[in-house]
Structure 1
Amino acid sequence: MMFLQFVTVLLFLFNQDQKASSYSLKNCEVHGLLTNRTKVLCYDRQLTHVPAYLPSKLFFLDVSQNNITSLRKSDFTEMSNLHILNVSQNKIGHIEEGAFVHTSRMEILNLTTNQLIEPSAFNLSTTEIISVLVRLRELDASHNPISLIDIATPALQSLLSLDVSYSTPRGSTVWLKQDPCFLKGLKIIYLGGMAMIPSNISALLQMLNCSVLEIIHLNHLNLTESDGLIEKVCLSHPNVKTLNLQGNRFTSIEAETFENCTQLRSLNMSSNRLNMLPPTLFQSLHFLQVLSLVDNKFTSVPNATSNITSLESLDLGFNKFHIISPADFINLPSIKSLCIIGNHISHVHSDLFGSLYSLQELNLGENHLRKLKEPFSAGLAMLKTLLLNHNNLASIKKGIFKNLTSLRVLNLVDNQIVTIEPGAWEGLNNLRSLVLGSNRITRDTLQDGTFQGVSSLEELQLFSNYISYESTKSLANPPFQHLHSLKKLNPKTQVLHFYQYTCASPPAFKGKKLLVFKKISCISDCMFILYVANMTAVLLLMLVCFFYQWRMHMIYSYYLLLAYFIDKRQKRKGQCMEYDYDAFLSYNKHDEQWVINDLLPVLENQYCWKLCLHHRDFQPGRPILENIVDNIYASRKTICIISHHYLNSEWCSKEIQVASFRIFDDCKDVLVLIFLEDIPSEYLSPYHRMRELVKKKTYLKWPKDEQEIPLFWLKLNMAMKTAAMPREAYDHVTGVFGGEIALCGSSARFCAMRCEPSHCLFPSDTL
């Protein structure tokens, strides 16, 4: 024991002499330098060749997304430990002989998306590759216009995965097949999107019958049911486990198509033109676990998808379903994932998924769901992820998720949610993530207790809603106070490669490092001044247009306010107003003959009232509005003689409005209405304020029967005698004076009624 301690001390003292030093690798990042799996990342750096002076123990090299045009022999001289090389998404058109002579341990080579065309550029039979890439397991040469593939190249002897998909030269791709059993270890082949006719594809797969292919990709080859390719694949490779038929032109499938693919575990038939399937199509696939029928033309769930007892994942997205029923998912005891995204489903019943006891993920996004009327079935007790995004849900009702006790992720993004009822999240005790972004949630939606029931919530997203708080004060009842498990926000953000960013503008700083750029140079001192000047000009223009459009109303309002303030000033001085006239006559010139011949002789001669007339008493030379305002306020009463001509007169309208304003200003009963004609109530325009006045005040009507004319003058005389009432008698609610004489008239009968604030008394001498 003492010896071990002594050795430890010596090692510690020895290491004290070692000094730490820094290092930097231009255009690359190094990870795991002290291990045997050193990773160097040089992707997307605008490189034109493979960087030199890389670590000698390099295990993984990524130089993808650059501008490399060729691979040279000197690029990999010190990379004997290289296992994985990614040179995808470059412009490689030539691989120099002996380029991989020092990479004898390479297992994975990714050459996808380059410009390998001629055999000399990518001839897998070259001696350099023969003697070197004997351990190559995965080769990805997809998205290259390759015209020649020699599958008997010794470099491919140990190959497990070959990807030559989307190799589309100007002509067709030529396959050299000297030894049919050479690729006997091949298990995965990608042939999707190649420029090959179905018969050549069938011949190629039959030639590889010595290989135990487990994964075959035949996507985007324009295959149809008439080609019979699926049956041939199942005959020559009965042990295939994954078959990808995506993006072809199948419109129907025969019932016996997959009867020889008994080991099939994953089948992808998405993006075809299928509208129905034979009920017994998958009857022989006893091990089928994953089935994708996305983006076809089904209007209902195919019966063939039922009774697949081994099925774990079913994707029926982006079809044309309007209605789904519990019978569509019977006898699927093993299913864990069900996707029905992108259909036209508008209703979901509580028992719809009741038999899917093992279901863990349910995707109902991008449908037309408007309401969730009933709680989800108790049979979904194992459900962990529920996606209801991109629907039209407006509210979340109480207890709708109460049976989903195992749910961990709930996505409700991009709905129309406005209301969240208390108890909406009842039963979601294990929920970890709740996404409510892009809805119509407001401040009123989030109340105290809104998020009760989700005590385990760790992530809550409320982006793109209508939540606003004007004050920075603490809320009395914070809606998130029960969410104790929410992970705290980290305000610090790492900016990767910040020191490499350069400025594109302004021109004075173009090309310089962003690190030395001072953002204050982007701030112009005159910007705020220009903003204020522009805003002032816009507001001034708006005001000018507004005043020009309503100039007459503005002038009229000015004089009304002027009269109001003059009167208030006189009241503050305690001046006692003495009236020059008993009544101001407001009438239209078309009714002047009735005023002169009938009204004046009775009121001035018989009853001795002093009246104010326009042509007789207005002061010459003064503005007409001033004459109107001054004479109305100089008169104890205002008599308005109403006719059709009166209602169409602008000056008459102003006179009655000034008189109406005086009612509220002085709290006096100053207005007497006389109707010379029968005028329906709908013609009493709010512009003349006649409808409101008629509702609140009684009026006199000029009788047609000459025998009733004396009674009319008597009533008018009584209205003239009505004294001003004190302010206390004015009812601010109804706008009626408690002590005024209410006069009502009709062509047949008149009555007088005196209304007090607390009761109404009918006079005993009813006229």
Structure 2
Amino acid sequence: MFQHTPRLLNLEITKNDQWDNPDPELLKSITDLQNLHLSENHLKSLDIISEANLTKLEHLILSNNELRIIDEAIFKRLPSLKYLDLSGNPFVCNCSNAGFIYWVLSDKQVFVAKAFQYRCSYPLSHEGELLVNFNIQSCFESVGLFCFITSSSLVLLTLVSSFTYHFLRWQLVYGYYLFRAFLYDGKKKKEGCADVYDAFVSYNVHDEEWVYHELVPELEERQGWKLCLHHRDFEPGKAILENITDAIYSSRKTLCVISPQYLQSEWCSREIQMARYFLLFSWFGPEGRLDPVVSGGDPSDQLSPFYRMRKLVKSRTYLSWTQARSHRGLFWERVRRALESGNDPTDTHDPLTANV
């Protein structure tokens, strides 16, 4: 309509009963407009103003329309505006108009005609009250409280996440794999499957020579036990913890070859910790699943920095390879008894056993 009058300075459109939803781009081409009068047009929104580029508009009259909620940001985009008339509109007295009320009371550039006479029409509990008397402070307090709760929740969530990641991440990972083992246990019971291995051997790579030259020939070749060794039996491509879980759960026993290198190993620590977790839940298997075997002859002072290992060894009898000396046959016999019966050796006076 106004494409051919881009330099129009004054425009008045009033008392238009069928103009309650005008085209938002109607005024877009009138960039030099200075005075705009849109009274009594049943306007329900200010889209026609917000979509226009009225940087030179000085006077705006929107009286006697059907405007309920006013977005004050629209007027902030009119840098030349000096006079505004919104009288006769059915304003809503709630937090939706809090920003507009604050702008009316604080803006020094725009004169809002009859601003202190604007009255509320909605809700009914505020009908007839002055718009400027509405308590906007409660709205800002609610927003502030919401922001405080949100920011506090984010901070707390960050702290809890950091604490969990730093201190409990492996426990959560273990819990996940234990849950999977629990499901696997139910499946095995339904299918009636027997254990795949007689024992899973947990050892450090530095003790590999002793395992392959002493332990494996004795237990597999001479005694006939089926062992699970991670270098030989772990499934390629599967997650390490998943391999550990499957190996421990698929074995009747877990033999831990404890040495100074074992104590320093991160993955060996997780293997024995996983085996300890299996002991905590009776539904995972019989007691006595974990059997420590000390190959390096570690004295008490070497175990002292390793609280969990020291606590474990204190609570369970273990076999010491270095203390066996000339009793190697008896050492392997006691290992055989442990694997065969599923119970730990109980004779603490035997020269092959010691308690830290």
Aligned partner of residue 597 in structure 1, secondary structure: helix
Shift of 1:600: 0.9
- Other-structure match for 2:308: 689
Shift of 1:526: 1.7
Alpha-carbon distance in 2 for matches of 1:689, 1:581: 26
Deviation per CA, 1:407-464: give whole Å up to 9, x if none.
xxxxxxxxxxxxxxxxxxxxxxxxxxxxxxxxxxxxxxxxxxxxxxxxxxxxxxxxxx
Aligned partner of residue 707 in structure 1, secondary structure: coil
User: 1:673 and 2:292 equivalent?
Assistant: yes
Contact 1:642 1:676 in 2 (8 A): yes
Q: Which amino acid in the other structure matches residue 531 of structure 1?
A: F
Alpha-carbon distance in 2 for matches of 1:626, 1:688: 25
User: 1:585 and 2:201 equivalent?
Assistant: yes
Q: How does 1:118-137 map to 2 (within 5 A)?
A: none
CA distance 1:626–1:570, change in 2 (3 Å): closer
Contact 1:587 1:641 in 2 (8 A): yes
The alignment yields a C-alpha RMSD, in angstroms, of 3.3
Alpha-carbon distance in 2 for matches of 1:683, 1:706: 21
Contact 1:639 1:674 in 2 (8 A): yes
Contact 1:582 1:636 in 2 (8 A): yes
CA distance 1:584–1:706, change in 2 (3 Å): same
Contact 2:181 2:246 in 1 (8 A): no
Deviation per CA, 1:107-132: give whole Å up to 9, x if none.
xxxxxxxxxxxxxxxxxxxxxxxxxx
Q: How does 1:746-765 map to 2 (within 5 A)?
A: 749-750=351-352
CA distance 1:632–1:688, change in 2 (3 Å): farther
Alpha-carbon distance in 1 for matches of 2:258, 2:202: 9
User: 1:742 and 2:346 equivalent?
Assistant: yes
Contact 2:202 2:268 in 1 (8 A): yes
Shift of 1:594: 0.8
Contact 2:324 2:352 in 1 (8 A): no
CA distance 1:578–1:595, change in 2 (3 Å): same
CA distance 1:541–1:751, change in 2 (3 Å): closer
Shift of 1:674: 1.0
Shift of 1:577: 4.4
- Other-structure match for 1:537: 154
- Other-structure match for 1:371: none
Contact 1:674 1:700 in 2 (8 A): yes
Which ranges in structure 1 are unaligned for 5 or more consecutive residues? 1-506, 510-516, 724-738, 753-767
Q: Which amino acid in the other structure matches residue 564 of structure 1?
A: L
CA distance 1:544–1:621, change in 2 (3 Å): same
One of 226, 235, 241 as aligned partner of 1:625: 241
Q: How does 1:705-724 map to 2 (within 5 A)?
A: 706-723=325-342
CA distance 1:693–1:751, change in 2 (3 Å): closer
Deviation per CA, 1:597-630: give whole Å up to 9, x if none.
1111110111000111111111111111111111
Shift of 1:676: 1.7
Shift of 1:650: 0.8
Shift of 1:591: 1.0
Alpha-carbon distance in 1 for matches of 2:251, 2:352: 27
Alpha-carbon distance in 2 for matches of 1:577, 1:743: 33
User: 1:598 and 2:217 equivalent?
Assistant: no
- Other-structure match for 2:257: 641
Deviation per CA, 1:70-129: give whole Å up to 9, x if none.
xxxxxxxxxxxxxxxxxxxxxxxxxxxxxxxxxxxxxxxxxxxxxxxxxxxxxxxxxxxx
Deviation per CA, 1:43-91: give whole Å up to 9, x if none.
xxxxxxxxxxxxxxxxxxxxxxxxxxxxxxxxxxxxxxxxxxxxxxxxx
Shift of 1:565: 1.9
Alpha-carbon distance in 2 for matches of 1:616, 1:700: 24
Q: Which amino acid in the other structure matches residue 709 of structure 1?
A: R
Shift of 1:567: 3.3
Alpha-carbon distance in 2 for matches of 1:678, 1:751: 11
Structure with greater helix percent: 2
CA distance 1:589–1:688, change in 2 (3 Å): farther
Contact 1:722 1:741 in 2 (8 A): no
Q: How does 1:390-469 map to 2 (within 5 A)?
A: none
Contact 1:584 1:638 in 2 (8 A): yes
Contact 1:586 1:655 in 2 (8 A): yes
Aligned partner of residue 637 in structure 1, secondary structure: strand
Alpha-carbon distance in 2 for matches of 1:560, 1:740: 25
Which structure has more relative contact order (CA 8 Å, sep 6+)? It is 2
Shift of 1:519: 9.4
Contact 1:583 1:637 in 2 (8 A): yes
CA distance 1:686–1:518, change in 2 (3 Å): farther
Shift of 1:721: 0.8
- Other-structure match for 2:174: 560
Q: How does 1:152-301 map to 2 (within 5 A)?
A: none
Q: Which of these two proteins has the greater Rg computed from alpha carbons?
A: 1
Alpha-carbon distance in 2 for matches of 1:681, 1:705: 17
CA distance 1:592–1:570, change in 2 (3 Å): closer
Contact 1:703 1:709 in 2 (8 A): no
Which ranges in structure 2 are unaligned for 5 or more consecutive residues? 1-103, 107-131
Identity %: 37
